[in-house]
Homo-oligomer: A and B are copies of this chain.
Amino acid sequence: MEPSAALTPTSYLVLGLVGATGPVTSYELKQIVANSIGNFWPFPHSQLYAEPTRLVRAGLLNEKAETSGRRRRHYTITSDGRRALVDWLAEPAQEPSEIRDLGLLKLFFLSQADPHLRHKLALEQRASHEASLRDIEILHAAISNVADPWQRKALEVGARFQRLAVDFWGEVADELKPARRR
């Protein structure tokens, strides 16, 4: 009954997914994540097994294990769990966004890189973000009829960011090859 210290983002991810979809197994959570938020906020599948266990212990989820065959565990949200989720949704999100990008970290130290490799890095990054953008667009099209509209909307941020990154690295590439410009 005690509020179990503090819930992590992973907790709320699981809580929200279980709350939205009814009885699910960890494997199904994994699938859902891979086709949605996992595109820009990865959660390793082991967490999607570990976290429900914690939430059950905290009284926020119910677990119903199959008694034969694969003995999968199906989770549903409890009333305490629903309350925790709704409370969290109601309170303002003050933590600032985080962007973790190794390419950006390299840009940060670009002055220390071999000059010949700088332009190459920019082109590689642009290409990589272009590929990510295509992936997200394909995914977005594929889920256009199934998922919750707000889930689709959230996915859009991923696509927009990838576009931003493509433009950005394009500019960086240009700045690194000024002689090449017309």
Contact = CB atoms under 8 A, between A and B. Distances in A.
Nearest to A150: B110
A138 interface: no
Given A89-B110, A150-B108, A154-B108, A100 B100 contact: yes
Interface string A1-37: 0000000010011001001100000000000000011
Contact of A114 (B19, B86, B108, B158): B86
Interface residues of A, number: 63
Contacts of A19: 109, 112
B132 A97 contact: yes
Work out how many copies of this chain go into the complex.
Answer: 2
A146 interface: no
A50 interface: no
Contacts of A36: 108
Tell me if A's interface is mostly helix, strand, loop or mixed. helix
Nearest to A94: B128
A112 B16 contact: yes
A165 B20 CA distance: 25
Contacts of A149: 111
A113 B120 CA distance: 46
Interface of A: 9, 12-13, 16, 19-20, 36-37, 40-42, 85-86, 88-90, 92-114, 117, 121, 124-125, 128-129, 132, 148-151, 153-154, 156-158, 160-162, 164-165, 168, 172, 175
26 contacts: A9-B100, A9-B102, A16-B105, A19-B109, A37-B108, A41-B100, A86-B112, A86-B113, A89-B106, A89-B113, A89-B114, A89-B117, A93-B102, A93-B124, A95-B102, A96-B132, A97-B101, A97-B104, A98-B101, A99-B99, A99-B158, A107-B150, A111-B149, A156-B168, A157-B168, A160-B164
